[in-house]
Amino acid sequence: MTRSVVTGAAGFVGSHLAEKLLELGHVVIGIDNLSTGKAENMEAFVNDPGFIFYEADIRDRDSMEQILDTHSPIECFFHLAAVVSVPFSVQHPEITHETNYKSTIRLLSRSRKAGAGAFVHAGSAAEYGNESRLPIKEEYASDETEHLSPYGRTKYLASREVARSSNPCGVSLRCFNIYGPRQDPTSQYSGVISRFIEQALKGIPLTVFGDGEQTRDFIFVEDVIHAYLLSAGINPANGKKSPPKRGIYNVGRSESITINRLADIIKSIIDPELPVAHLEPRPGDIRHSLADISKTVRTFGWKPSWDMKEGLKKTIEWYRENPETL
């Protein structure tokens, strides 16, 4: 059976990825220090006989060595664990650099010794800084890019090094604004969608920073999972394998939507009468963001399949079924 490692397996995206790999028949070695990930995100599959979980920190070299020695050989290494809070990265740049960059490089090297054919890294749209050219192409991020935080800078440095690796085949996915079930609306760095849904289900005004005409490119988590699998050479429909595709790739819908329009759609699903409260703009917020996904579509044969409204309905349904998360 194929062995895959998923770091950040208790996180929002990592838990969905681990669950899908198990459905495809993989043995999944999940790693998470539970600093931001939640054990309840793994409830649906934690007792699956193919799932092996380690509560461990990716910065702990001895723990990582022991885990990979125990489970070698592995075929696919999906690296999603990271410092993901921009404010935390500003306050703790050294920890962010150690976690997001240095630990990634060590794991890339160690996965080679474990026999991995693919190393897929969770990049970020933050690697582009305050990019004004739209839609944003992969080559727009460079060593000269003025990143807005240590988070964005360390993600860029890690993506650059991962994409240079041919053994294992290095892939970095720069995902734009991901949303879906299991996203934590109470988190300090939660996305606007989970925050709006929480407010709407509680019957309180939806809070919009600034005029609400800023635009974002939102992508449903299931589409993101398919991109992860295809980048590693795994067919998400049947698990069949093909060679992974080295490089850096954008993952988004390549469609922009204003925050005002997003609020209107969520209101239409939950309660059209809910008011919207406009707050002062947040310093440093990017005005517009839109992914160019042509390289990803061309290379993987991937394209997003979830319509925005249908993805929001699915997400809202999950929150209604799991009110304890609000």
Q: Which residues are the active-site residues? A: 151
DSSP state of 166: B
Task: Please tell me the distance from the alpha carbon of residue 20 to that of residue 162, in angstroms, as a whole number.
Answer: 24
Beta bridge partners of 122: 173
Of the candidates 66, 56, 14, which has an alpha carbon nearest to the alpha carbon of residue 32?
56
Task: Please tell me the distance from the alpha carbon of residue 64 to that of residue 197, in angstroms, as a whole number.
Answer: 37
In this structure, the number of other CB atoms found within 10 A of the CB of residue 168 comes to 25
Secondary structure class of 208 (helix, strand, coil): strand
Q: Rounded to an integer, what is the distance from CA 220 to the centroid of its chain?
A: 10
In this structure, the number of other CB atoms found within 10 A of the CB of residue 115 comes to 14
Cα radius of gyration rounded to whole Å, the chain: 19
